Chain A
Amino acid sequence: MAITNEKTWQFGTALDPLAHVNFLGLSSSAAETARRSLRFIKDAMISVPINPWEVVGSNDGTTAALDGVDRWDDDSKLLWNTSGVRSWIVLRQSGITSNFQVLFWCDTSSATYYHIMTIVVSPAAGFTGGSTTTRPTATDETVVANRGVWRSDYSTQNTEAVLSVMVSADGNCTRVVQCSQGYACSFMLFDKPKNPEAGWVNPWAATLYCNNPNGGPAASYLTYAALCDAARIVIQIGGVDALCYMATIGLGANPMGQQIWTVNSQLNEWEVYPIWLHSATTGAKGTKGQLYDIWFDTDRPLVVAGDYYTQGGLITHAVFKDLVLPWPNVIPVTQTP
């Protein structure tokens, strides 16, 4: 199946259209790398030219308020801890729902584990409260990741990170990919699904998926096994928090992409496969919608993170192991030079 985007994608600012891909997040320590990386993600989300995310409020460990102020204006403002002072920021994206808010909270399971954070979504009610030591809460909140791994650091290791952030021009879709040592390691998604099920009020989908083996990444983790065989996408429907599989076209015992290791015979091109959201969660069972502009690739042995597709001589899509995403006309970087 040919790759055709349904959205227009933004990978940077008006001044630098490619500013938000291939960003090297590596710094002098695990703490500094994490601070630099998360701040970059926030900066990228709020600085795309069209329909950027808005800052609802923030906490830099000294001052906390939902007052529209971005206090994460320096890496040092991002403070991780297991209790006590922990930085947070609340962002809003009205392209998903009219008041879709995401909270990033530097809440970790060990004081030196900077690869851990908490992500919470409020699709409509919005966050209130919060202090320098506690996060805001929302009456309709869904915890997407509770002290979840978002970087491939293991323990206190300082693992390199190449970050890429992309936001669709209508604000419907935001994707964040982190690569390290040549591997696709981490994936975030905040989307309004395509063709959401009838009656789904404020449809949204979100995920944080990452793997962090001891010694650093030794493989790419954005795979069929991780995303199609397991339910990783969080949704809230009918008041129920549910986990969705990234379903795709299959036959026999596997998805098509896991069984086709060469190009389409007639088109002489690699196929990619669209993705649906299917929930097996009690109270929310069923196929709930699709995802825009993200595909499963063929699981051919030689595919690696950083492969890319071209159209008309221009790079248009990047391969992150088994996922394919829109990409600007620049070669994807997956490790430090």
Chain B
Amino acid sequence: MEHVEAVVVGAGLSGLSCAYSLANRGIETIVLERGDYAGAKNVSGGRIYLFPLSEYLPDLWREAPFERYITRERLTFLSQKKSSTFEFENSGERQSATILRGRFDRWFSEVVTEKGALIVPQMVVEDFIYENNEICGVIANGDEMQCDVIVLSDGANSLLAEKSGLRTVSNPQDYAVGIKELIELPEKVINDRFNVREGEGAANLFLGATHDVEGGGFLYTNRASVSLGVVAKISSLTKASLEFHQFIEEFRELPYLERLLEGGEIAEYSAHLIPEGGFSSMPRLHREHLLLAGDAAGLCLNMGFTVKGMDYAIASGVLAAQAIWKAKKRNDFSSSSLSQYDRLIGDSFIGKDMKSFRNMPRFLGNERMYEFYPHFVCDAFESIFSVKKEKEKLSTSLWREVRKLVSLKTARDAIEAVRFL
């Protein structure tokens, strides 16, 4: 039977970061990827936060094929054909970038291969092999492969994490699903329509685009395309009266978006699961000879206006490699030896974020955020700007809107917002 030191399942950001760090330390590493190439099964909304990565493989990201650096942030409240947009510009600092995983992960896999890890595509890992009830390898495409350690970086639907007993069968409450259209537009047209320079981009988030379903819309500018998407909590979606695939079409036809997207050609339609149960649904991340990383470990966080996951994936991959390196020096891949990984995650920015935002899922579960408040914002602006016959006093029209807002429920929302945010 074949034996390697480390098997990494899945060539996404966590798997590739882990393989890179392992190969860099001279550990013999095989990455098993079920797609035709790294990235073939990978989807992201499209924005990665760069600051947290300054401590994790920092040299690598200088050459990385990011699409555009986000300098313009927009938040749009929608109410049928009406919209109100808030805008923030920061050209000075490169905090986040847009990314297309097809391109990015293929580049990353080449870098990892150069480091000395072997990436094998078209391989599905079906199960583990055991010796004396301890995991000692994997079965991939029917063949057995022995190893010292396995890193499960096989994404949000990690069936293997469930098989390993580290994760339980999933709860719709802990997941959102995103759908995305990749729409091609010329680079120059994007620069003009979004008022950005070459290499700079805009990120636009939308509330009120999902009826009263818990979720929102997004529009990110890539170099010569835009990523348009809708994200919805699955448990909330099951109560919807519209089929989910129709949400994005309804969204795209809004006047605000129609003009931004005019003439664009759709080049891809994708969907992806987002684990967003937060801290309370985080599993234990290790057992003997096994570690979980990235989405497979549930390392994703919805902070309301920012959704993070790709930076956690990269960092967890690097930390998994650190834990493996130390376990190798002790020649001990037992559960207690690998338990150091959970501590590394807990002490890193991942653990700190997860703890700070532990109440976020409950806060975001408030359905008034998705219809009532976005409509209120639009109605309030309409009453300020519209002129019908006689213009009433501004205070009168505003007061009418504000009266709609004030209730016991909204007062409680305000208190919760102050507490959580």
User: Are A and B bound to each other?
Assistant: no
Chain B interface (Cβ < 8 Å from any Cβ of A): none
